[in-house]
Amino acid sequence: MPDGPIFMVGTMRSGSTLFRLILDAHPRISISEETGFMGGLAAAKQIPNWTRGRDWYQRLGFSEQEFDARLREFYAGMFERHARSQGKQRWGEKTPFHSRHIQQMAEVFPDAVFVGIVRHPGAVVHSLVEKFHYDVADAVAYWRSTNTEILRRGLELADDRFALLRYEDLVEHPKETLSELVEFLDEPWSDNLLRHNDVQAARGTPRISAGSTRTRDPINTDLAHRWADELDDAARGLLESSAGPLARFFGYDPVTAGTRGELVPSDDPAGHRRLLTRAALAERQAGPGAVSLEDDAEAVIMPEMSPAELAKRLHTAEAALARVRSSRAVRWSNAARRAQRRVTGVPIELWSAAGGAVRGRRRPPA
């Protein structure tokens, strides 16, 4: 059986935490709580806020492949230790914003597989607005742009490295959906997947996990369509105009609850009905319902932090900008600009004293 990592990707509020708890109940698989480790890995490869921070390791004689191997050894070692502490042989991870790191994750972890989870855009939008107070237009754009990125990157992977399932299938047809999933992962079936709540309780998992998910609750279909009666006409209009084509690609009517049944044709050679493998996605993309996979000009990347943390970061950024503005070089630069506006020429001494801080300016007349 394979031991390569399993990366779960999806939007916020897509049911990914429930999905994590279910797969983490498998006797061989450990899916950790959200770590966001790819933020650290990406920062290690390109030092933030430094013009010379890109590919810094090459100055020490490391190729990108060699550096990736070091990063893989470091991060995989941490997750492997966590898995072993639970008596598990295979590790995985789930952090929603890692959906933007699929390409890099696939390069650093060449034996990894990716499992995406998608949920009806109406449900995700309703939850983002109610729980996190997002603007409806931003929430719709976030669902569309993130799932477009997941689909685009998933189609770039090999057939045995990417598959996608719908949240609605997971909670309404758990046995069938999970059976197809563990087959794709080349893992044995375990009934623990259907009683994840009992497994997590016996393990002592906190009752409330990330995303306010109750770890002791069994799989429940009631939450799948609760949003349907609570969206106004304006929100439904945005769902239709902005998310409609992609929603239909995944088998959703963009403005009403429910799904269109099985996503995969009955003659699928793998026998899949609920799981969309990379090959099945490519077949759909080659058909009449194909969607645009171009970079989304209106992409919305929602940072997963509280309003207080956002305010704190804004204050820090404003303070840093104030320090830059108060620096001597900037004061000289501003003085030189003001002087240029007042007189036709600037004395060479003043220009020299400004030290070329005003880059790109023509030398003043002598």
What is the structure's pLDDT at 62?
A: 97
With beta carbons less than 8 A apart as the criterion, state whether 16 and 8 touch. Answer: yes
* Range 6-303 has CATH code 3.40.50.300: yes
User: Of 146, 139, 219, whose CA–CA distance to 178 is shortest?
Assistant: 219
CA separation for the pair 110, 76 (Å, rounded): 12
How many C-beta atoms surround the C-beta of residue 159 within 10 A?
A: 13
What is the structure's pLDDT at 225?
A: 82
User: Could you tell me where the beta strands, DSSP code E, fall in 130-283?
Assistant: 162-166, 276-277
CATH 3.40.50.300 in the chain is located at 6-303
In a 3-state reduction of DSSP, which class is residue 334?
helix
Which residues are 113's β-sheet partners?
Answer: 6
What are the CA-CA distances from residue 257 to residues 104, 135, 141, 231, 361 (Å)? 35, 21, 19, 11, 60
CA separation for the pair 127, 133 (Å, rounded): 9
Q: Which residues of the chain have pLDDT under 70?
A: 1, 211, 258-272, 297-313, 317, 324-325, 327-331, 333, 336-337, 339-366
User: Of 192, 280, 261, 213, whose CA–CA distance to 16 is shortest?
Assistant: 213
With beta carbons less than 8 A apart as the criterion, state whether 306 and 211 touch. Answer: no
As given in the structure block, the two tokens for residue 296 are: 């989304």
CA–CA–CA angle 25, 28, 34 (5° rounding): 55
What type of residue is 359? Answer: R
In a 3-state reduction of DSSP, which class is residue 3?
coil
What is the structure's pLDDT at 18?
A: 95
What is the structure's pLDDT at 157?
A: 98
